[in-house]
Chain A
């Protein structure tokens, strides 16, 4: 079954703790993205990667880190430096021939304990 899998669906972070959100895709897409969604606001781009072993900062990268060691995987780490991490996190992919259409995962809700 093709698609984007984000896990876990719900995640809780203790103060001072780093947590990692998983994003896996079997669509064979080169580009992958992480967006943050806050209630009543649009999506804001955290990081994106257009190819393996390369990634770029988005608009709100501070307090986050990513890696892209495999085409299929683009994990996002929310570090302790991110002081307001509570949000809904969405992973997305884009293939070369899809004219900028993004495919989205079902999201991870991160909350602070």
Chain B
């Protein structure tokens, strides 16, 4: 079956540091890939997505590129802020809408 492997955390950074959270996937066919963010006590919000190889998703300074050759979708941000502290989930899915999620990475950003 499909699987998503996500870099384990927690990740702790200082404000304005560079962020990378690794994500690799295994799937039959060509899934769409997503990054979701979850703030404490809330549901998940879509951060960005990519639907085919070499697509780059971007939002709020975050970026991720769909790399078919390495089956990866790593999340990056050049300069993190305290307000970016949250749990980040990588996910992949087919056209039936079922998404497979990674285990989540807790990010804490200190001033």
Contacts and interface: CB of A to CB of B under 8 A. Distances in A.
Decide whether A and B are members of one complex.
Answer: yes
B103 A99 contact: no
Given A43-B89, A99-B51, A107 B98 contact: no
A50 to B, nearest CB: 7
Interface stretch (B38-46, B59-67, B75-83): B38-46
A106 B103 contact: no
Contacts of B101: 35, 42-44
A103 B46 CA distance: 8
Contact of A107 (B42, B51, B94, B95): B42
A107 B43 CA distance: 6
Contacts of B95: 100
Contact of B49 (A31, A44, A101): A101
Contact of B104 (A6, A41, A99): A41
Nearest to B49: A101
13 contacts: A33-B97, A35-B101, A41-B103, A43-B44, A43-B101, A44-B101, A45-B99, A99-B51, A100-B97, A100-B99, A102-B46, A104-B36, A107-B42
